[in-house]
């Protein structure tokens, strides 16, 4: 089976401090990967690299630095982080409707436990409600694969179950899901990548 993600020779630094290096990832359609490691080790930075939002660092000596690594996807990728890209001043339904018009899909609140919050301005939502709204926003996109940064933050048991079900649906459709999370997440066949095993 052809790999849906091939990431080769990824190095990352924050300022002058190296975080990880020599990292290679290959995933096939429907696979899921859990990024683990202590705060500050580079999990979010890796997700941003895989999303194309951060360039891999060059490595080697100053005069003989190697080429930066590369990331190759088969399909479209979406990245979910704490910021939901929703207008904080608008009611939730209206904020999602803005993106729904761009993405050409109807707004759905019920599957995310948000039906009673349609008229509430986004700025008044709790952390868990914002996380649910982020998944509602994610569902509007026509992405094949998901990158999820701490997707369980602020969620209760029911919300965590919702996220796990959404991940299962995405994988059944052939999508790759990569999760950075300090919390355990119930995903069958979940592979683990500990960035402590890839020092620079």
Summarised one tens digit per residue, pLDDT across range 75-99 is 999 999 988 899 999 999 999 999 9
The verdict on 72 and 149 lying in the same domain is: yes
The verdict on 190 and 93 lying in the same domain is: no
The verdict on 1 and 71 lying in the same domain is: yes
Q: What number of CA atoms fall less than 13 Å from residue 184's CA on the CB side?
A: 3
Neighbours of 35 (CB within 10 A): 23
Report, as an integer, the average pLDDT of 14-37. Answer: 95
CATH number of the domain to which 25 belongs:
3.40.50.300
Whether the predicted model's global pTM rises above the 0.95 cut? no
Report, as an integer, the average pLDDT of 130-150. Answer: 96
What is the number of domains present in the chain?
2
The verdict on 124 and 60 lying in the same domain is: no
Question: Token pair of 58, please?
Answer: 């060059």
- Name the residue range of residue 96's domain: 85-140
Cα 177–164–35 angle (5° rounding)? 45
The verdict on 187 and 95 lying in the same domain is: no
Q: Exposure string (b/e) for 96-122, b if CB count within 10 Å is 16 or more?
A: bbbbbeeeeeebebeebbbeebeeeeb
């Amino acid at each position: 089976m052809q790999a849906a993600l091939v990431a080769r020779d990824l190095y990352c630094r924050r300022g002058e401090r190296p975080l990880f290096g020599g990292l290679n990832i290959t995933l096939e359609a429907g696979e899921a990967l859990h990024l683990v490691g202590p705060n500050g080790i580079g999990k979010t930075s890796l997700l941003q690299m895989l999303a194309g939002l951060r360039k891999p660092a060059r490595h080697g000596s100053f005069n003989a630095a190697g080429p930066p690594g590369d990331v190759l996807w088969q399909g479209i990728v979406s990245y979910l982080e704490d910021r939901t890209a929703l207008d904080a001043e608008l009611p939730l339904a209206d904020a999602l409707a803005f993106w729904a018009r761009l993405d050409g899909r109807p707004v759905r609140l019920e599957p995310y436990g948000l039906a009673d919050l349609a008229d509430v301005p986004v700025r008044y939502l709790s952390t868990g409600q914002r996380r649910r709204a982020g998944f509602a926003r994610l569902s509007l996109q026509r992405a094949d694969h998901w990158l999820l940064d701490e997707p369980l933050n602020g969620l209760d048991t029911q919300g965590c179950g919702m996220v796990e079900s959404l991940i299962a649906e995405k994988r059944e459709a052939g999508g790759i899901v990569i999760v950075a999370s300090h919390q355990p997440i119930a995903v069958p066949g979940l592979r683990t990548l500990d960035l402590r095993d890839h020092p620079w």
